[in-house]
A and B are shown apart, each in its own frame.
Chain A
Amino acid sequence: MSKDAERRSKAQNARERAQAAAKRERLIRFVGGGLVAAVVVGIIAIGYFGSRPADSPNNEGKVPAGVSENLAWVINPDTTASASMVIWEDFQCPGCGAFESIYNDAVQQLAKDNVVKVEYRPTAFLDDRFPGEHSARGISAWGCAIEYGIGDSFHNTLFKAQPQVEGVGWSDDDLHAIGMSAGLDKDVRDEFNNCVNDKRYIKWADDSTQMFQDEAIPGTPNITVNGTEITDEVLKGGPEKFIEWVKATAAA
């Protein structure tokens, strides 16, 4: 073989090797890229489209008397105030417990002085993250309390009886006792206890939680006046600053 031909065949071999390598490379990229794309599409398809709720629930006949059509508990339904304050809470959320212990008096005062209509809205979103359905059962029991005339005090007492961490919750017996310490009339004690055990207003909890999610409320406690959300600065400022902010926002 001549030197020239030898060089040519070497060059050809190298070219063939390079071509084979390039082909292998293309195959790896094609298959690898395809597999990764399939993982992405698979996760989104199974997760998102597989978990969507079938259709939105209706709340006919499942809301305690005294809770409005739009699922809120209004503490001053006869108010002359045109502005409204909406307070979203989960009974298991420690921040909500803290908010109630610091600001409940201020909220009651603002309601009484007709500064704002005060709408309490319950959500059980923490039940997604912690064992049990304590938030939803708490809301249902609150519905029973509303039915038997102790709506406000049960709401406040349940927050005071909040366990330190989420997921511990309350037994049915705990909820019965909380009803009694919230001032339940002894004559309706059995009815109230049965209502709690039956989870009579669990649908209120579900529907209100659905609403919480549909409205994309960012977390709890969530406090808005005429749609304007409170800032952390105000929330850390104490009752006087809170009242000032509510008045200013309601008047704006």
Chain B
Amino acid sequence: MKSLLSHPYVGVLSRVVLALVLGYAGVIKLFEPNGARDAIIAYRLGIPNDLAMLLGYAVPALEIALAILLLAGLFTRAAAIVSGLLMAMFIVMIAQVWARGYSIDCGCFGGGGDLDPEGKNLRYTQEILRDLLFAGIAVRLAIWPNTGFSLDRGDTESINANEGK
């Protein structure tokens, strides 16, 4: 199991999957930045409008940057750690708004804002499970960042060379 998880091809697949998820989430948010702002406000964390507006651009920008890095395999470990933290933050935000009894659209892939309360428990559960899966992929990449087909590869070689001394 461990050797399968740490296999470089699984690593490449993990990078591609995480990059596509983050890239899609980032790009779609950029097309409706007011939606991203509304989604951030909907989490009811007392974030003022100006900051929410700024985050409405900063979050998708970060997601796109991480997607590029993961796809290129550049700074893979750092990108994986930041992606994992981002997922953890999303999970905490969804959980707190759920626990406090509000019904919102997470805005994970665009949209966002308040929603009809019907079926919210199922929806929140799905969103959290999905983010946990992505966080798991990020953790896998942080533990075994050397995957091949990546710009980090030269680094791997020099590490090996150093270890060989």
> Across the interface, do A219 and B117 meet the contact criterion of CB distance under 8 Å?
no
> Across the interface, do A232 and B101 meet the contact criterion of CB distance under 8 Å?
yes
State which of B52, B60, B117 has its C-beta within 8 Å of the C-beta of A235.
Answer: B117
Give chain B interface residues in 91-142, CB to chain A under 8 Å.
Answer: 100-104, 113-117, 120
> Across the interface, do A125 and B38 meet the contact criterion of CB distance under 8 Å?
yes
> Across the interface, do B44 and A218 meet the contact criterion of CB distance under 8 Å?
yes
Q: How large is the interface on B (under 10, 10 to 19, 20 to 34, 35 or more residues)?
A: 35 or more
Give chain A interface residues in 206-252, CB to chain B under 8 Å.
Answer: 213-220, 222, 229, 231-233, 235-236
Interface centre among A43, A94, A95, A125 (most CB of B within 10 A): A43
B69 within 8 A of A: yes
List 18 extra interface pairs beyond A40-B62, A217-B41, CB under 8 A. A25-B158, A32-B74, A36-B68, A40-B58, A48-B53, A48-B57, A51-B33, A94-B116, A95-B115, A125-B34, A129-B32, A215-B49, A218-B104, A218-B114, A219-B104, A222-B114, A231-B100, A236-B117
Q: Provided the pairs A32-B72, A44-B54 are in contact, do residues A219 and B101 lie with their beta carbons within 8 angstroms?
A: no
Distance between Cα atoms of A82 and B134 in the complex (Å): 50
Tell me what chain B mostly uses at the interface: helix, strand, loop, or mixed: helix
Interface centre among A21, A37, A215 (most CB of B within 10 A): A21
B4 within 8 A of A: no
Return the CB mask of A59-81 against B: 1 if under 8 Å, else 0: 00000000000000000000000
Distance between Cα atoms of A232 and B116 in the complex (Å): 9
B75 within 8 A of A: yes
> Across the interface, do B114 and A29 meet the contact criterion of CB distance under 8 Å?
no
Residue of B nearest to A39 (CB): B65
Name the distance in Å between A44's Cβ and chain B's nearest Cβ: 5
Residues of A contacting B103 in the complex (Cβ-Cβ under 8 angstroms): 232
A177 within 8 A of B: no
State which of B49, B57, B69, B117 has its C-beta within 8 Å of the C-beta of A232.
Answer: B117
Give chain B interface residues in 1-49, CB to chain A under 8 Å.
Answer: 30, 32-35, 37-38, 41-44, 47-49
Total inter-chain residue pairs, C-beta < 8 Å: 111
> Across the interface, do B157 and A21 meet the contact criterion of CB distance under 8 Å?
yes
Q: Provided the pairs A24-B154, A44-B54 are in contact, do residues A219 and B68 lie with their beta carbons within 8 angstroms?
A: no
> Across the interface, do B57 and A47 meet the contact criterion of CB distance under 8 Å?
yes
Q: Provided the pairs A22-B158, A219-B104 are in contact, do residues A40 and B116 lie with their beta carbons within 8 angstroms?
A: no
Residues of B contacting A52 in the complex (Cβ-Cβ under 8 angstroms): 53
Residue of B nearest to A213 (CB): B49
> Across the interface, do A48 and B154 meet the contact criterion of CB distance under 8 Å?
no
Name the distance in Å between A8's Cβ and chain B's nearest Cβ: 16
